Chain A
Amino acid sequence: MSATGKPRSVDRRRFLTDTARMAGGCAVAGTLLAYLARDARALPAEALRPPGALPESDFLSACIRCGLCVRDCPYDTLKLAELGEDGPATGTPYFTARTVPCEMCDDIPCVEACPTGALDPGLKNIDDARMGTAVLVDQENCLNFLGLRCDVCYRVCPVIDEAITLEPSHNTRSGHHAIFSPTVHADHCTGCGVCERSCVLPDAAIKVLPTRLARGSSAEHYLKGWEEKERKGAPVVEGIIDLPDRMPEIPGTSSEVPAFEPAFKLPGGGQ
């Protein structure tokens, strides 16, 4: 648009105000969009990403929301988040363990299908997937913890005896039974959610959580003496044999270590 007889400065001023106005408008719109983008980053705890999914912030830049992973999942595990759902970023794939867990296909078709690498093609062995981590969240309702032998979560786990084991311990309530507590080993748990899906309770006592929620982290400087000892093949500090044992003080007695008396004796004498 060259000036038609108008002084150049008018044109330039118009150009400048127009540009300023556009830039202003875009700044406002852009800020709103950025705000939305920030909002979309909060992935709810019950929504799990497919196997191989990049860390959430990378995933959001990589996934083009095409749905190819969803289509190629033979178990209809994956869903695309819909607009208006208070869930994962619109259009991105996720699954809910309690509804349909990931069956951990050997050939990982979802990863195979992803054209962008949002699901990392470097994932070759489904046992290496880390979609989340199972946690036995409710020991008070878990049937095994109540001393019953439910064991369902343990038996359905595709990585049985590695990702989840049953740890026996004495049942102090009955006194002569064992408790087999389902115990997840995060190093091997893929977060597939099969255990959560299969839990027989109305609300699962074992749940798969995003690993950031499921786990703490160990302090970097903290060395586990027994591991160090094993690595070294000898005591870590020479000369230290043992530390004195302390027992809790019992009210009304001196701080002397009392002779141990079981509080409850089995009828018939037991051992």
Chain B
Amino acid sequence: MSAKTRLPVGQEAIQLKGWFNAHRFLLLRRLSQAFFLLLFLLGPWFGIWWVVGTLAGSRTFEVLPLTDPLVLAQSIVAGHLPEVTALVGAVIVLAVYALIGGRVYCSWVCPINPITDAAHWLHERLGLQKGWQPKRTTRFWILGTVLLVSAITGTVAWELINPITMLHRGLIFGMGFVWALVVAIFLFDLVVSRRGWCSHICPVGAFYSLVGTKSVLRVSAVNRVDCDDCMDCYAVCPENHVISPALKGKDGETPLILSPDCTNCGRCIDVCSVDVFAFTHRYDNRAKKTVSTAVDAATEQAA
């Protein structure tokens, strides 16, 4: 098997499913990221004001308010009772992410994600070391600190340095010094800590993972019996500790990836040559029991 594991990540999937199918969710995700950015840019660029505002707060078609719940939470602990519009906007956002998985925000919407993904791509290309890997709980500590500082100082504290809203605002309203922040995150992920920002530091990601704990949309290792241990999913997953419990579960244990850290990015579905993973809902506990012939086909082709 050693020859096979040396294949570049996803190579087998490309051979078996074709390049397009092996990048389906990655492409969709990039489209989605571009789509959400474009929605906000339609106004300033083309004068089409369907969506006004930024990720922190916006108004769509003059009626639908959306508010970033974490920003609003900071405002509330800082001592301001917001108007109904902002509260309604935050509840809508919370409800959506509670349903589809909080970190869907991270992988499908957040403008920092393409940057950290790019850093990771280069990191792999250059074959760099993992670097500093802070504990997974770090981001929750940071989240707590942010709320605490907001409460103590009476300001929306994280917004003083939040690269997500700053970058978004920068793209829409004008950049200022924000590019330096973006470069800093890129370099941090590239040379200091592999997947450092999104998977270890960002309190926004931490917040959304809390929001999505009970989310309905889930990735499931339905065909885990077909898994040939190529490890490609572990290699592409930004939070790869979430995979084992589902993939390596015994019969009777759920094949669902239940960790709220999973970003529902779907990359594991893409790169798996034997289609172990699939999107489903959290009440779907079915796991296939018999090995399919796809595995034999895969080993034959690889040989």
Bound state CA distance, A90 and B148, in angstroms?
20
Is the beta-carbon distance between B58 and A116 smaller than 8 angstroms? no
Alpha-carbon separation in the docked complex, A98 to B188 (Å)? 41
Bound-state CA distance A118–B78 (Å) is: 13
Complex contacts, A64 vs chain B, CB 8 Å: 56-57, 67-68, 71-72, 75, 86, 156, 159
CA distance A89 to B78 in the complex (A): 15
Contact residues, A73-90 vs B (CB, 8 A): 80, 82-85, 89-90
Tell me, yes or no, whether B178 is within 8 Å of chain A by CB: yes
B92 on interface, CB distance cutoff 8 Å: no
Contact with B along A54-98 (1 / 0, CB 8 A): 000110111111111011100000001011110001110000000
| B118 close to chain A: CB less than 8 A | no
Interface check B18, CB cutoff 8 A: no
- On chain B, the residues within 8 Å of A34 by CB distance are 149, 152-153, 157
Is B178 a contact of A68 with CB atoms below 8 Å? no
CB pair A71 B53 closer than 8 Å: yes
A38 at the interface (CB under 8 A from B): yes
Closest B residue, CB atoms, query A61: B78
Q: Are B152 and A61 in contact (CB-based, < 8 A)?
A: no
- For residues 83 through 139 of chain B, which have their beta carbon under 8 Å from a beta carbon of chain A? 83, 85-86, 89, 135, 137-138
B172 at the interface (CB under 8 A from A): yes
User: Which residue of chain A has the shortest Cβ distance to B57 in the bound complex?
Assistant: A66
Residues in chain B near residue A66, CB distance under 8 A: 53-54, 56-58, 67
Which among B79, B142, B166, B175 is the interface contact of A26 at CB below 8 angstroms?
B142
Closest CB in chain B relative to A116 CB, distance in Å:
4
Q: Which residue of B lies closest to A82 (CB)?
A: B176
Q: How far is the CB of B221 from chain A (nearest CB, A)?
A: 23
Name the residue among A40, A63, A64 with the largest chain B CB count within 10 angstroms.
A64
Query: A90-127 CB contact bits vs B (8 Å, 1 = yes)?
Result: 11000000000000000000000111111001000000
Can you give 20 A-B contacts (C-beta < 8 A)? A18-B135, A22-B135, A22-B137, A25-B141, A26-B141, A29-B142, A33-B145, A61-B75, A61-B155, A62-B75, A64-B75, A64-B156, A65-B159, A68-B58, A83-B177, A84-B177, A84-B180, A89-B160, A114-B83, A115-B82
